A = this chain, B = another copy of it.
Amino acid sequence: MQIAVMGFGTVGSGVAELVTNNSALLARRCGVDSIEVKRILDIRDFPGSPFEDKLTKNFEDIVSDPEISVVAETMGGLRPAFEFTAACLKAGKHVVTSNKELVAAKGDELLKLARENSVSYLFEASVGGGIPLLRPISRCLAGNEFLEITGILNGTTNFILTKMITENMPFGEALSIAQKNGYAERDPSADIDGADACRKTAILASLACGKHVDPDLIHTEGIRDLNLEDVRYAHAAKFAVKLLGTCRKKRDGSFYTIVRPALVPFTSLLSRVDGVFNAVMVRGDAVGVTMFYGRGAGKMPTASAVVGDIADCVCLGRNTKTGYGWGDRDGSVVSDYLSEPVSLYVRGLATDRAAAYDELLEVFGSNRYIYVGDAPINEIAFITQRDSERTLRQKLGTLRNFSVKSVIRVEDDI
């Protein structure tokens, strides 16, 4: 059994190494004589690489080779990954990928193309790195209606947040340690502003609702503006601040789908997920709550997920119905997030403390106030009762004795 790898970067080289090193094991589990990397596509040269003789710059060497039945696309980006993937599927080759950007943007088209050509398009590695996630959701839990999928989907931001929480380290300092350790890019914006988590949330939401959810429809906020003060108040109220991607079914059949920081109670296992680890909580109508935990990024964990997909393609062959139950695009599945009933954590400064408390009582009724030892005398922090986010924000806008500094959603029930 011969496979090809497109893109010899971190993940692609991990895939080539893992297939080669665990080749006998993999072949035994898949019930074939051998599994071997025949070709690796990259525009760069890699002199001295043990895979040098397999490298090619010519896509034709892969797409036109009838011996290659599975192609791992680990190039990233939309182009030419989209064109290459489409061409491989049309040529009757299974394609597996770690490319979350492409899956989130074009999953519906590529899955349709795969169905039309009786091959698989699998992308376990696109969400949660090495954590088995998409196949468990779409296959093991196929009998469930999905009520909620919520997760810590970005290891870089979780590393930064863990430093802020456990070491009281400001955001900027934690970011530069993440960069030094290779957990954050030199331009970290895709991670810290939430775009990466948004793509992954779009993929999970597409599985949950059976429609292609466009990432552009998902309200997304990152952690760039998060203050140590808020982390401390949260801690005092027994919450950890986590960047969560959430997709939750509403009574009207639409899905509350959002990416932004949230206060997660210490009683939730998600609050205990630290460092570069990811975790995803899935709630189904039959199974109840399940959680999946592991390394959400990194060369070998991500390669592990890609190779799992390769094994699936090898085991299953052609003409099986292994789609993710992922239908056409439908913008109406994403609800207006401002209409969702939420609790909000709010921190701000009172112009006059007594007057501010009076006004807050008048406007919000009872709030849950949070106290920390060394706070500025005019600072007030509280958690509101549950109401629609639009109403809560309108109320915050009316306050005259209190200027709002931070607002973070509270996820009490996870």
Which residues in A have some Cβ–Cβ distance to B below 8 Å?
A: 14, 18-19, 22, 25-26, 28-32, 124, 130-132, 135-145, 210, 269, 272-273, 284-295, 298, 300-301, 303-305, 307-308, 310-312, 314-317, 319-323, 325
Q: Tell me the minimal C-beta distance from A194 to chain B in angstroms.
A: 24
A145, B32: Cα distance in complex, Å: 17
Q: Can you list 26 A-B pairs, Cβ within 8 angstroms, ordered by A?
A: A28-B210, A30-B321, A31-B323, A132-B136, A132-B137, A132-B292, A135-B139, A135-B140, A136-B136, A139-B312, A140-B308, A141-B304, A142-B307, A142-B308, A143-B303, A143-B304, A143-B308, A269-B273, A287-B295, A288-B301, A291-B291, A292-B293, A314-B321, A315-B321, A316-B320, A320-B320
User: Across the interface, which residues of B come within 8 angstroms of A139, CB to CB?
Assistant: 132, 135, 308, 311-312, 315
Give A164 Cβ to nearest chain B Cβ, in Å: 19
Q: Give Cα A293 to B131, complex, Å.
A: 13
Chain B residues positioned under 8 Å from A136 (CB to CB): 132, 135-136, 140
User: Do residues A132 and B124 form an inter-chain contact, with CB atoms below 8 A?
Assistant: no
Q: Which of B22, B145, B269, B291 contacts A143 (CB 8 A)?
A: B22
Closest beta carbon of chain B to A304's beta carbon, Å = 4
Question: Top 3 nearest A-B pairs by Cβ distance?
Answer: A143-B307, A132-B140, A132-B136
Query: A136-B132, A287-B295, A316-B316 given as contacts; is B304 within 8 A of A30 (CB)?
Result: no
Please judge, given known A-B contacts A29-B142, A320-B316, whether A288 and B295 are in contact too, CB under 8 Å. yes
**Contact indicator B132/A141 (Cβ below 8 Å):** yes
Pair A287/B291 contact, Cβ less than 8 Å:
no
- Taking the closest CB of chain B, its distance from the CB of A321, in whole angstroms, is 4
Among A19, A25, A305, A323, max chain B CB count under 10 A is at A25
Q: Which residue of the partner chain B has the closest CB to A315?
A: B321
Are B286 and A18 in contact (CB-based, < 8 A)?
yes
Q: Pick the most buried of A22, A137, A142, A325: most chain B CB atoms within 10 A of its CB.
A: A142
Q: Which residue among A19, A139, A308 has the maximum number of chain B CB atoms within 10 Å of its CB?
A: A139
New A-B pairs, 9, CB < 8 Å, besides A132-B139, A141-B308, A317-B319 = A14-B286, A130-B288, A132-B132, A139-B311, A269-B293, A287-B305, A288-B300, A289-B294, A290-B295
**Nearest opposing residue in chain B for A130, CB measure:** B287
Contacts of A286 in B (CB 8 A): 14, 18, 22, 130, 300-301, 303-304, 307
**Smallest CB-CB separation from A306: which chain B residue?**
B143
> In the bound complex, how far is the Cα of B316 from the Cα of A257, in angstroms?
31
Structural contact, A295 and B301, CB atoms closer than 8 A: no
Residues of B contacting A131 in the complex (Cβ-Cβ under 8 angstroms): 287, 290
CA distance A389 to B137 in the complex (A): 41
Given contacts A22-B145, A308-B141, A311-B143, contact A289 B284 (CB under 8 A): no
